Amino acid sequence: MPATKTLPQCAHDAIESAIDEAADEDPVVLWWDDGGYLRDIVRDTSSQLGCEFRAAEQTPLELRTEAPRDRTVWYVPQASSDDVDWFKDVEHTGDVIEQHIGKLAARCFENDRLQAATIRTAYEDADDRENVAKTLYEELNDEGGLPSLQGLQTKIVLDGHDDPVQFVLEHGAENLPSDEDLIEIRDLLVDNGVDAVDGVSDAQTIVERTRRWAVAEWLVDEGLDKSLLPQEYQPESSSGFGVSRPELRSVLSKTERKQELARVYLDPNQRFWHDVLRTHDDPWELVDCPVDASLEHRLWDEWTQSFHAGDYEECATQAEQRHERLDATYGDVPWTQLWDQAIDIATLANELETWEESGDTGDVVELYGDVEDGTWQIDNAVFNLIVSGEPETALPEEHPATAKLEDLRSSLVESRYLEYLTDLGDLVGDQIEAGSPFVGENHAHQFFAEEQEHLQSGQSVALFIVDALRFDLAHELAESIRSELPQLEVDESKWVGTLPSDTEFGKAALTPGSKFSFNIELQDGELVPERNGREITNHRRQTLLENDGWSYIMQDAEDEVGWSNTRVAYYWNDIDETGEKELTDFEELFSDRIDAISRIICEKLRKGEWDRAYILSDHGFVSLPQHVDIDDLHPPSNAEKVTRRWIAGADLDDDTPGVLLDEDTHLGYLDDDTKISILTDPIQRFRNQGLPDARFYHGGVLPQEFVLNFVTITQE
């Protein structure tokens, strides 16, 4: 039975009736409000009826300090008392109303006064009157439609919640009432289709059966044959009117307690339909049902079987589907993180298998640096897999992934990935000896000459030069900028970095000048980069740029004046330093830095009216597995310059460890008398340099180091 009036309407009727029945033509109406929740309603109604309104703030006697001159409503926010006779005159000449919010609310249901008395009783008997008053006020204060009596009773019992099924699904037994109120809630559950609780009087059992019923409803909605369920748990068929969806889905879409409820509905100790799901022919038919640990465990077991069978593309598709459903339902919880990592595992396994099966001996620069299909994606998959951490440690111990996931990760990033790097190093060595990898490629030391048309045209240009930005990280940056600034055109292209791929030579190459003016030569046993015959130091690099009209800004420098220039070169330096010093979790640190770089670049591109911007790098790096044994090599005696991963000299021969670079290697910048031998095997180091940075491999001759991704950003 719905309400027929609002609280303001009932207050209006009460005051108007009191005025009409008063002996005085301009009476005083005294309103006693036990609890004081009707003040605003009585004040506004008094004004509508042309009455002055006065409220007692401390004691009812305050109202007698000033005699009323016109029609007046006196309001006292407390119960009336027979102990005082301050208002005998009002009782005889005006009128007295004793209405608290519970009594007034009951008057809103004038067509069912007998049942509506429960509203008054609920307020008067409540341990927490404020919550009941709040519910009555919100429901009957003329905002929105008028509630039914049953709906209002439900909200009072459930502290403002109007759906008993959804309340039980979200809040559990500890929040249910006791005694008669519990039986009332149970009956409401039955009325809403939860037959499984019929006759139950225990709160915990009511919750367990309601949740089991809701999980069954969702499973059936996703395709489970409901005949597999007991009759009392079979959901009712949809009426066909409007959009019908499971109650539990509705709860999880609205609640702010998603993560807490994930532990309820994916709890291995609450396997709602284990006997049905453990024998279900194809659990992937139910993949979009994100509740019941039995289904979750079946899906994971089936997924790992497919993975071991080598169905990597199918595994990636399935993991994406499960991750999408769990993420949409619960957000960032361990189960979601698990399937997110499963995507990376399947992707990496597929990339490695493709590499192993291809036997590709094509040009190594193209093989690695193809933006769409290059094997740089193997590094990216390894990087993502490591950054995603160990989600199984936060899962319940009973989840099957807690025993298997670590082995899956380590088999990929500690054995198969290392085999890939070793094979790739051998391929690079073979092609360098044949003189083929660098012919016809864009070289970093030619950048200013190749882009001269744009760099010298008077356009506003920003260079973002990021130290140690590996190909895959540059691609991630490009994708981030595309997403944040879709109005810009973002292009990627492969360039060959300077070998050796050390910062000293890589940054020296990215300086203004003719492509023929860059040179690396051996001077007194030291390998030195030059432009136009002069050594390029850090200071000299800055001078070259500034003399060419560039503002030179280092990372974290507060140089807003420099950014006002039309040509800015901004240097981001800490990726290389991170790799050298933060060996325990440097992948995660790299990920944070990529996010930070993206924010800075997008901020500058938004603020400035740049015609063109570039993201460049001096070299990349290789991140080795956590557990790897390093071969400690003795450098040959005729090596003049010795580092961890390369040596230089004038008399090096072909027997030197690694691959030999000289004037015949088609690099275009090595002095005729200078030879450099660079290690191709990622697990080798020259002994006299010690063995720090065992994971951050940098300075060798793997494509991860010298095949670079240069990003060009222009206005469309």
- Give the pLDDT confidence of 204-213 residue by residue, as tens digits: 999 999 999 9
Q: Please give, one letter per residue, the 3-state secondary structure of 79-101.
A: CCCCCCCCCHHHHHHCEEEECCH
Distance (Å, whole) CA 511 – CA 550:
11
Residues near 32 by beta carbon (within 8 Å), at least 6 away in sequence: 76, 78, 79, 80, 96, 97, 98, 99
Helix (H, G, I), strand (E, B) or coil at 138: helix
pLDDT at 579 exceeding the cut of 60? no
Question: Does CATH place domain 1-147 in 3.90.79?
Answer: no
Q: Read off the tokens for 540.
A: 């000299």
pLDDT of 696 reads 75
Apex 56 CA angle, 51 and 61, nearest 5: 110
Place of tokens 């990592």: 341
pLDDT of 655 reads 87
Contact present, 703 and 368 (Cβ < 8 Å):
yes
DSSP states of 48-69:
HTT-EEEE-SS-GGGGGGS---
pLDDT at 259 exceeding the cut of 70? yes
Q: Give the lowest-confidence range in 188-202, 470-484, 567-581.
A: 567-581
Distance (Å, whole) CA 657 – CA 686:
9
Distance (Å, whole) CA 388 – CA 588:
8
Distance (Å, whole) CA 160 – CA 145:
16
- The domain spans of the chain are 1-147, 163-255, 283-434, 444-627+698-715
- Give the pLDDT confidence of 471-502 residue by residue, as tens digits: 999 999 999 999 999 999 999 999 999 999 98
pLDDT of 689 reads 57
Per-residue pLDDT band for 574 (boundaries 50, 70, 90) equals low
pLDDT at 239 exceeding the cut of 60? no
Instruction: Tell me how far CA of residue 309 lies from CA of 315, 346, 408, in angstroms.
Output: 10, 12, 13
- Which has the closest alpha carbon to 641: 661, 623, 665? 661
- Give the pLDDT confidence of 607-633 residue by residue, as tens digits: 878 899 999 999 998 888 877 888 888
Instruction: Kindly state the helix (H) or strand (E) to which residue 330 belongs, with its residue range.
Output: helix 312-330
What's the rounded mean pLDDT across residues 15-22? Answer: 93
Q: Read off the tokens for 47.
A: 């004004």
Distance (Å, whole) CA 601 – CA 570:
10
Higher pLDDT, 189 or 127: 189
Distance (Å, whole) CA 247 – CA 250:
5
Instruction: Kindly state the helix (H) or strand (E) to which residue 191 belongs, with its residue range.
Output: helix 179-191
- Which has the closest alpha carbon to 544: 520, 516, 509? 509
Instruction: Kindly state the helix (H) or strand (E) to which residue 509 belongs, with its residue range.
Output: helix 503-509
What's the rounded mean pLDDT across residues 192-203? Answer: 92
Distance (Å, whole) CA 256 – CA 166:
14
pLDDT at 690 exceeding the cut of 60? no
Per-residue pLDDT band for 446 (boundaries 50, 70, 90) equals very high
How many other C-beta atoms are found inside a 10 Å radius of the C-beta of residue 132? 26
Apex 577 CA angle, 574 and 580, nearest 5: 155
Q: Give me the percent of the chain exceeding a pLDDT of 90.
A: 60
**Residue 439, φ and ψ in degrees, nearest 5:** -75, 130
Distance (Å, whole) CA 103 – CA 124:
9
pLDDT at 241 exceeding the cut of 60? no
Q: Read off the tokens for 392.
A: 């199984």
CA dihedral 589, 591, 592, 597 (to 10 degrees): 120
- Give the pLDDT confidence of 39-73 residue by residue, as tens digits: 999 999 999 999 999 999 888 888 988 888 889 99
Four-residue CA torsion sign, 688, 693, 699, 700: positive
Per-residue pLDDT band for 707 (boundaries 50, 70, 90) equals very high
Per-residue pLDDT band for 240 (boundaries 50, 70, 90) equals very low
Per-residue pLDDT band for 238 (boundaries 50, 70, 90) equals low
What's the rounded mean pLDDT across residues 107-125? Answer: 86
pLDDT of 405 reads 94
Higher pLDDT, 400 or 65: 400
pLDDT of 46 reads 95
Instruction: Tell me how far CA of residue 186 lies from CA of 127, 152, 209, 274, in angstroms.
Output: 21, 16, 11, 26
pLDDT at 365 exceeding the cut of 70? yes
* Partner residues linked to 642 by β-bridges: 647
In angstroms, the first-to-last Cα distance of the chain is 63
Q: Read off the tokens for 234.
A: 């079979």
Distance (Å, whole) CA 237 – CA 223:
13
What's the rounded mean pLDDT across residues 350-364? Answer: 86
pLDDT at 678 exceeding the cut of 60? yes
Per-residue pLDDT band for 242 (boundaries 50, 70, 90) equals very low
**Residue 233, φ and ψ in degrees, nearest 5:** -105, 0
- Give the pLDDT confidence of 584-595 residue by residue, as tens digits: 565 667 677 788
Instruction: Tell me how far CA of residue 622 lies from CA of 270, 469, 682, in angstroms.
Output: 45, 11, 8
Mean pLDDT rounded to a whole number for the chain: 89
Per-residue pLDDT band for 671 (boundaries 50, 70, 90) equals confident
Q: Read off the tokens for 443.
A: 């070289």
Distance (Å, whole) CA 607 – CA 563:
10
Helix (H, G, I), strand (E, B) or coil at 595: helix
Instruction: Kindly state the helix (H) or strand (E) to which residue 712 belongs, with its residue range.
Output: strand 707-715
pLDDT at 582 exceeding the cut of 60? no
